[in-house]
């Protein structure tokens, strides 16, 4: 099975900072990669699909890039409401594995 | 709008089974596959399995094979996840999520989650 590895596992940044989270697949998955945001006690929310397509209603400060095995989620200017855990997920085939998550906190 | 409404919290003893429902509305039920995901307390998201709501095909996580069964009732637009031989490690919030299309896909819509607690 393809493993999904996110880094870092947690990070602390200031409001306005540029934040980058990476996700690496153990085998190529083309662009079948999604990013989700989950706030404590809440349901995961889709941010990005097809590696770089912004889900409707998601602020434009979120962006995704990558293809094959290496992917990136970028928050261009961190806002207080972006404090959450972020997960990548491959969805080209089963198992549709999630990364282990990256917790983003405010400094 | 698309809604997935799950059944309520459950408390089960070790060795028992649990069946969680996920009632869909706001779209044609058989047009989109459904995925089940669980999240143990303080842990990440774990993909459990997938069901094609049109033809009933399923795929399951290897670590749950033989203990989990996904089914649907197209007459009521409801999906079910049954987990058997429960152990304490199965304590988690269980989510159903609608795939964007009929095959394997990203998950734009999620149920509210169902807490299953396994405790003696």
Torsion (CA) A57, B101, A85, A89 in degrees, nearest 10: -140
Q: How far apart are CA A69 and CA A25, in angstroms?
A: 5
Residue B52's closest CA among B1, B101, B111, B120? B101
Residue of A nearest to B115 (CA): A41
Residue of A nearest to B95 (CA): A43
Q: How far apart are CA A103 and CA A13, in angstroms?
A: 11
pLDDT score, position A90: 98
Using an 8 Å CB-CB cutoff, list chain A residues near B105.
Answer: 91
For B63-105, the DSSP string reads: GGTTTEEEEEETTTTEEEEEE-S--GGG-EEEEEEE-SSSSS-
Cβ of residue B105 closer than 8 Å to a chain A Cβ? yes
Confidence of residue B103 (pLDDT cuts 50, 70, 90): confident
Give the side-chain half-sphere CA count within 13 A for B13: 1
Contact predicate A90/A97, CB 8 Å = yes
Cβ of residue B113 closer than 8 Å to a chain A Cβ? yes
B102 has a pLDDT exceeding 90: no
Spell out, as residue ranges, where chain A has pLDDT lower than 50.
none
pLDDT score, position B41: 97
Q: For residue range B5-28, list pLDDT tens digits in order.
A: 999 999 999 999 999 999 999 999
């Amino acid at each position: 099975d393809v493993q999904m590895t996110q880094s870092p596992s947690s990070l602390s940044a200031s409001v306005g900072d540029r934040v980058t989270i990476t996700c690496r697949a153990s085998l190529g998955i083309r662009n079948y990669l999604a990013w989700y945001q989950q706030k404590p006690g809440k349901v995961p929310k889709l941010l990005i699909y097809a590696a770089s397509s912004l889900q409707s209603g998601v602020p434009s400060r979120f962006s995704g890039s990558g293809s094959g095995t290496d992917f990136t989620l970028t928050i261009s200017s961190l806002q207080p409401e972006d404090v959450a855990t972020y997960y990548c997920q491959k969805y080209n085939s089963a198992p549709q594995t999630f990364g282990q998550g990256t917790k983003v906190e405010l400094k | 709008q698309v809604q997935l409404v799950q059944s309520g919290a459950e408390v089960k003893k070790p060795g028992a089974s649990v069946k969680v429902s996920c009632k869909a509305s706001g779209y044609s039920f058989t047009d989109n596959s459904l995925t089940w995901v669980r999240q143990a307390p303080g842990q990440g998201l774990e993909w459990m399995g997938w069901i094609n709501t049109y033809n009933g095909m399923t795929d399951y996580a290897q670590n749950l094979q033989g203990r989990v069964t996904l089914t649907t009732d197209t007459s009521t637009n409801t999906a079910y996840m049954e987990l058997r031989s429960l152990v304490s490690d199965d304590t988690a919030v269980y989510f159903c999520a609608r795939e964007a299309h009929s095959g394997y896909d990203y998950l734009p819509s999620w149920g509210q989650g169902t807490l299953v607690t396994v405790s003696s």
